[in-house]
Amino acid sequence: MSDLLDTLRDIVGVAHVLTRNDPGANPSTHLQAWEQDWRKRSQGRALAVVRPARTEEVAAVVRACAAAGAGIVPQGGNTGLVVGSVPDDSGTQVVLSLGRLNRIRAMDGANLTVTVEAGCVLQTLQEAAEQAGWLFPLSLAAEGSCTIGGNLATNAGGTQVLRYGNARDLCLGLEVVTAQGEVWQGLSGLRKDNTGYDLRDLFVGSEGTLGIITAATLKLYPRPAAQLAAWAAVPSLQAAVQLLGLAHRHLGAGLTGFEVMGQFALSLVAKHFVQQRVPFLTEAPFGVLLEHSDSESEGHARAQLERLLETAFEQGHVSDAVVAESLQQARALWHIRESIPLAQAEEGLNIKHDISIPVSLIPQFCEQTDALLQREIPGVRLVNFGHLGDGNLHYNVQAPEGSDSVTFLRDMEHAVNALVFDQVRHFNGSISAEHGIGSLKVKTLPRYKDPVALGMMHAIKRALDPQGVLNPGRVLLA
Ligand code: FAD
């Protein structure tokens, strides 16, 4: 393996191959930022971290690793939540960090596209688009750290999927280094191209197991003239679904966000972040955060939103509501929503789920699954919140009050997952709506994926990466 390290140093330069034996480095912490996952569920051990700055360097690194039989773990911002971007503990895998491959190569206002390298941080791209007068709409709480390559490799969703779609829907073309170290130049800005199989869609969402994304051509949108947020107290999940239907009818494509939050999830924000004021906390079992984007004016947007909420109130879907008066107030409302994951972490470890269910079936799913969980684990607490507009719930299960969360996670995770995922299957849902499979759900996937689909996935993996060098043990077991 020392031959491989020498070759890697020749390719990217000595300064960009990091190992735990680097002179003057503390071996136990030197590579930690690349070896430990965001949720601190896994501490891997890399042979090296390699940081190429150009596509040709990525290709050469892949060829060198493949020749040496070393597994390659592509990594962007390392914010993934399913332990897909960190090495295993064998000490043989090479972390291929894309952080230095971060240029915005071109912006084409007439074509409404931007071509950007994989290591560009999402927020940097959002800001560059804004400066040029456009909107790049992908938005998620990790946007200050996550990268475009990681967003595409995980097909990230976020808060505006309802209007603009997932990362997949924003992507027109890709540049990819294959497992053989070839470069596929697919950086097309075309919206129409029916010349055979859609290779781009194979790589989007493949979590680094089929190829290394080095650049992408992405869609830009006009910036809305106004963006307003409102908070509604709703008496039930069924009422939230009715409100969503009404919002679709009243706001059309202007509906850019629709988040639902259970009372317990909101009470954790109020408990752990006392400076935040949660509207209508004690008045209703659910809160809904709506976002409305309008191409005309703020006055027009406000009138539409108020009309929607009045109608919803008259029909009994909403018991109270408030429309943010300023950008600052709107940000404060979004801040409550974004604080839920942090508040639940303050409360203790919990069993997280990132599921999707057809929107119309969500109330029934929650009613049944809540009851089953309460029967199995009396007193269990449900931190239920999510992007209701996309049918995506973070249906998280917290230990009963007063019990030890570490013990709960250790003893109950398997059984709780089985119960929740069986219910997801029963309701024709997905066990992963956003975060992907990584290594965390790799053993679970075969139980819930259609066997024919799974067979085709294995065939694709064998065809594109027969040696199994790209992100081994992620998404599919060998
Ligand atoms: P990494 O974590 O580095 O990698 C993720 C996966 O992609 C790994 O399998 C890795 O091997 C692969 N990969 C990375 N770069 C490349 C590349 N260039 N080529 C091939 N494979 C690559 N996700 C959502 O969908 N919606 C959300 O709302 C959301 N909110 C989040 C909020 C927080 C606070 C956090 C921490 C995470 C959140 N996520 C969310 C998870 C989400 O997957 C990541 O934030 C993001 O998309 C991953 O980007 P990254 O650059 O950090 O990728």
Length of the chain: 478
- DSSP structure class, residue 238: H
> What are the φ and ψ backbone dihedral angles of 66, each rounded to 5 degrees?
-65, -40
Q: What is the CATH number of the domain that holds 141?
A: 3.30.465.10
Domain that holds residue 321: 224-347
| Residue 335 to residue 289: CA distance in whole angstroms | 11
Print pLDDT tens along the chain (478 aa): 779 999 999 999 999 999 998 888 888 889 999 999 998 889 999 999 999 999 999 999 999 999 999 999 999 999 999 999 999 999 999 999 999 999 999 999 999 999 999 999 999 999 999 999 999 999 998 999 999 999 999 999 988 999 999 999 999 999 999 999 999 999 999 999 999 999 999 999 999 999 999 999 999 999 999 999 999 999 999 999 999 999 999 999 999 999 999 999 999 999 999 999 999 999 999 999 999 998 888 899 999 999 999 999 999 999 999 999 988 999 999 999 999 988 998 998 899 999 999 999 999 999 999 999 999 999 999 999 999 999 999 999 999 998 998 999 999 999 999 999 999 999 999 999 999 999 999 999 999 999 999 999 999 999 999 999 999 999 999 8
Answer with the one of 347, 373, 388 that is the final residue of a domain: 347
Q: Is residue 473 part of a domain?
A: no
Token pair for 257 = 């966000």
Q: Is residue 288 part of a domain?
A: yes
Let me know: does 377 contact 412? Beta carbons within 8 Å. yes
| Cβ atoms within 10 Å of 43's Cβ, excluding its own | 12
Q: What is the CATH number of the domain that holds 6?
A: 3.30.43.10
Q: Is residue 301 located within the same domain as residue 343? A: yes
Q: What is the CATH number of the domain that holds 430?
A: 3.30.70.2740
Q: Is residue 213 located within the same domain as residue 172? A: yes
Q: Which helix (H) or strand (E) holds 106?
A: strand 104-108
Note the pLDDT tens digit of each residue in 190-236: 999 999 999 999 999 999 999 999 999 999 999 999 999 999 999 99
Answer with the one of 285, 318, 347 that is the final residue of a domain: 347
The best mutation among 138, 154, 353 to test binding of ligand 1, ranked by most ligand atoms within 8 Å of the C-beta, falls on 154
Q: Is residue 293 located within the same domain as residue 233? A: yes
The pTM of the full predicted model, rounded to 2 decimals, is 0.95
What type of residue sits at position 7? T
Give the distance (Å) from ligand 1 centre to CA of residue 354: 14
Q: Is residue 321 part of a domain?
A: yes
How many domains does the structure of the chain reveal? 4
Q: Is residue 464 part of a domain?
A: no
Give the distance (Å) from ligand 1 centre to CA of residue 404: 30
55 closest CA partner among 146, 149, 170, 191: 149
| Residue 464 to residue 49: CA distance in whole angstroms | 24
Partners of 356 in beta bridges: 392, 430
Answer with the one of 328, 347, 366 that is the final residue of a domain: 347
Note the pLDDT tens digit of each residue in 258-282: 999 999 999 999 999 999 999 999 9
Q: Is residue 115 part of a domain?
A: yes
Token pair for 167 = 């990362």
What number does the ligand 1 atom closest to the CA of 141 have?
32
Give the distance (Å) from ligand 1 centre to CA of residue 77: 7
Q: Is residue 469 part of a domain?
A: no
| Residue 78 to residue 117: CA distance in whole angstroms | 16
Q: Is residue 470 part of a domain?
A: no
